[in-house]
Amino acid sequence: MKISTTLALLVIAIGLGIFVWILDRRSPGNREQLAHSAYLVDLDRNDVTQLEIENGDTRTRLLKTNDGWRLTAPVVDRADSKVIDTLLYSTQFLKRDDTLGNLGKGDQKRNYLKQFGVLRSRLILRCTGNKTHIELQFGGETAVEGSCYVRIVSKDEVFVTDDDLKNLISKPPDSFRDHQLTPFLSPEIDRIVLTQAAGEIELTRQQDQWQIERPIKARASQAAVNRMLKKISETPVLQFKDEEGGGELETENSPTAITLFSGQSKVKIACGAPVSNQPGHIYVRVSDRPSTFVVDESLAQTLEQKPNDLRDRRIVRLNPDLIDRITITTKGQPTAQLSRKEGHWMISDQHDAPADADAVEHLFNTLNSNDVSGFVSDNASDLTSYGLDTPANEFAFSSYSSENTAEENAGETRIATLAIGRLEGDNYYARVEEEPYIVALPRRIVEQLPTNDFSFRSHEILNLPRSDLASVEITKDGTTVVLTRNEKGQWVVQGQNGSQNDLAIQTFLNTLSGLHSTAWVSEKSLAPEPAVEKIVIHRKSDQKQIVLQIGEKAAEGDEYATISTLPGTFLIRALDFQNLQDSLVR
């Protein structure tokens, strides 16, 4: 065979291969074809914009809008999106159980169609969209329970399918109406106005926190507001009363109502009279919807709120992530200040000694999680009567910025200040100075609050890099031993006979350089007399020596101790004391 012929055949073969590949890619696979053939219609739910159900003399029309599905006939109202989704899903995946073809022509065909109940169907579903024009005509039940006859207008056959879709569209128009009172999800609501005979209560959401704006300005309880919104959201419409007596209820004149705002949209739900012959039910009207609804009377009970029912009873609302400084002022004591630096809390008055992070967290938790005993006055003008003109204790929480930002200027910004006044009975009077009211706090809570920096002492006594240690003098039983480094930087023992115990030396240095207390027992340094052991630390980085003195044993087995770098007396573990006592030579 000539080369030219071979090349020509090769080109033809390649061309056929490419053609088959393209055809295969553009054609649905056998599995896909089989799947589509199992369903009665080829429906894209997203393309459907109109639905019409013809059920005898009643026509139910639904229209898809930017705000969701709406019922346009026989009444204009919000549609139930879940029911519509179920309807479209059931239509898209309506399976054909059997196909009845060869129905003949003329009278024969009409007789068959009449026999199947689809000649002049009383139940029709129409789905319309840009690319969708489907009409399903439903007939009678088959001999098999749970199935029915269906005809597609554009086809000659009659199909047998399950009757779930037929049962769904056979329901009255009210079944397609939204049975929820409000179209808003709870997180979408940013303002609430409760209308009652006694007046109005207004709440606003600010940075995900609810605030009462009227009749008083106060923090709102997130749990109480969310419970109220949840109850409204979960209260279903039990009946739609389009032409009955409850329709005279007007939203503007209702003594009990709630108006929900979401951005520029709002909905007012007004409660009316009890429904006669239906104990436990009341009429309601919703401002953007027609007719009167019947709901459970518990809705009206939910709206019977007093301002104090919705108030946040927590002592204060603090976000620890925003707080960089805590200042505690107590009458007759020095002011204590804690500062956060690089994520760690420090005691400012002790040359930035580390503070106990657990103690700081406990303070936040105590104030954030405990409730006030009661609300004493909504007006904080008379401070003297409550001992709040010169508070016994004051806790100030601030943020701090080292430079100007778009939100705030450089420096300290006060977030909240809790002032505690005089004691009366089992309660202290108190106020958050940024809020215009006075409360009562349980005595047991107030008296466990820290009043000075001693309460925040860290259990970390020493945190020394081993490389910074130059020498250590250990004095006990009248004898002094010196640990020092030789010219190679190795630790050697001076002043004690015998070969040195390197393991004991390393254990001693590890315990000493990372020494922790089990508890602080006094604000004063109660120097032990005589000291059981005295350890003097010399560092490379600082000429000032550190002196640790260990005294007698406490009742629990730990040892009392003091250190020159911190005021106060603390306890160290018996095991740590043993590591510091062990002989450094064999």
Question: Given the DSSP bridges, would you call strands 218-219 and 479-485 parallel, antiparallel or unpaired?
Answer: unpaired
% the chain with pLDDT above 90: 57
20 pLDDT tier (thresholds 50, 70, 90)? low
The b-or-e profile of 454-482 (16+ CB within 10 A means b, else e) is bbbbbbebbebeeeebebbbbeeeeeebb
* C-alpha closest to that of 225 among 284, 127, 167, 302: 302
% the chain with pLDDT above 70: 89
CB atoms within 10 A of CB 296: 15
CA gap 70, 289 in Å, rounded = 11
Q: Which residues contact 312 (CB under 8 A, 6 or more apart)?
A: 218, 219, 220, 221, 222
Question: Given the DSSP bridges, would you call strands 353-354 and 427-432 parallel, antiparallel or unpaired?
Answer: unpaired
Query: Which CATH architecture is the domain 466-581 placed in?
Result: Sandwich (2.60)
Sign of CA dihedral 339, 340, 342, 347: positive
Tokens 């603090």 sit at which residue?
Answer: 318
Residue 303: per-residue pLDDT: 93
> For the purposes of burial, counting CB atoms within 10 Å of the CB of 10, is it exposed (0-12), middle (13-18) or buried (19 or more)?
exposed
Amino acid at 400: Y
CA gap 428, 387 in Å, rounded = 9
User: In whole angstroms, how far apart are CA 27 and each of 20, 21, 34, 145, 280?
Assistant: 10, 10, 13, 38, 62
CA gap 570, 144 in Å, rounded = 87
Residue 245: per-residue pLDDT: 45
* C-alpha closest to that of 309 among 430, 196, 429: 196
Interval 370-380: pLDDT, tens? 999 999 988 88
Q: What is the mean pLDDT of residues 120-137?
A: 93
Lowest-pLDDT choice from 21-30, 184-193, 251-260, 428-437: 21-30
Is residue 54 helix, strand or coil? strand
Is the pLDDT at 350 greater than 80? The verdict is no
Residue 566: per-residue pLDDT: 86
Strands (E), 331-437: 336-341, 344-347, 353-354, 374-377, 393-401, 411-424, 427-432
Q: Which residues contact 136 (CB under 8 A, 6 or more apart)?
A: 40, 41, 91, 94, 124, 125, 126, 150, 151, 152, 165
Are 499 and 585 in contact by the 8 Å Cβ rule? The answer is yes
Partners of 133 in the β-ladder? 128
CA gap 298, 231 in Å, rounded = 9
Residue 353: per-residue pLDDT: 80
CB atoms within 10 A of CB 199: 10
The b-or-e profile of 279-293 (16+ CB within 10 A means b, else e) is eebbbbbbeebebbb
Q: Which residues contact 186 (CB under 8 A, 6 or more apart)?
A: 226, 229, 230, 233
138 pLDDT tier (thresholds 50, 70, 90)? very high
Is the pLDDT at 57 greater than 80? The verdict is yes
Is the pLDDT at 22 greater than 80? The verdict is no
Interval 407-459: pLDDT, tens? 556 678 899 999 999 999 999 999 999 888 999 999 999 999 998 888 898 89
Residue 494: per-residue pLDDT: 84
Interval 164-202: pLDDT, tens? 999 999 999 999 999 999 989 899 999 999 999 889 999
> For the purposes of burial, counting CB atoms within 10 Å of the CB of 138, is it exposed (0-12), middle (13-18) or buried (19 or more)?
buried
**Could you tell me how many helices (H) and strands (E) the chain has, helices first?**
11, 35
246 pLDDT tier (thresholds 50, 70, 90)? very low
Is the pLDDT at 130 greater than 80? The verdict is yes
Topology of domain 39-67+80-168 in CATH is Immunoglobulin-like (2.60.40)
Is the pLDDT at 15 greater than 90? The verdict is no
Residue 244: per-residue pLDDT: 47
CB atoms within 10 A of CB 531: 18
Interval 530-570: pLDDT, tens? 678 899 999 988 888 999 999 888 877 899 999 988 888 99
Residue 478: per-residue pLDDT: 82
Q: Which two tokens stand for residue 563?
A: 């250190």
CA gap 441, 392 in Å, rounded = 14
Q: Which two tokens stand for residue 366?
A: 């105590």
Interval 379-408: pLDDT, tens? 888 899 999 999 999 999 999 876 655 555
Lowest-pLDDT choice from 238-242, 284-288, 349-353: 349-353
Interval 511-522: pLDDT, tens? 999 999 998 888
Q: Which residues contact 251 (CB under 8 A, 6 or more apart)?
A: 257, 268, 269, 270, 285, 286, 287
Q: Which two tokens stand for residue 407?
A: 């939100």
CA gap 505, 510 in Å, rounded = 9
| Mean pLDDT, the chain, integer | 87
Residue 243: per-residue pLDDT: 54
The CATH number of 320-456 is 2.60.40
CA gap 26, 38 in Å, rounded = 21
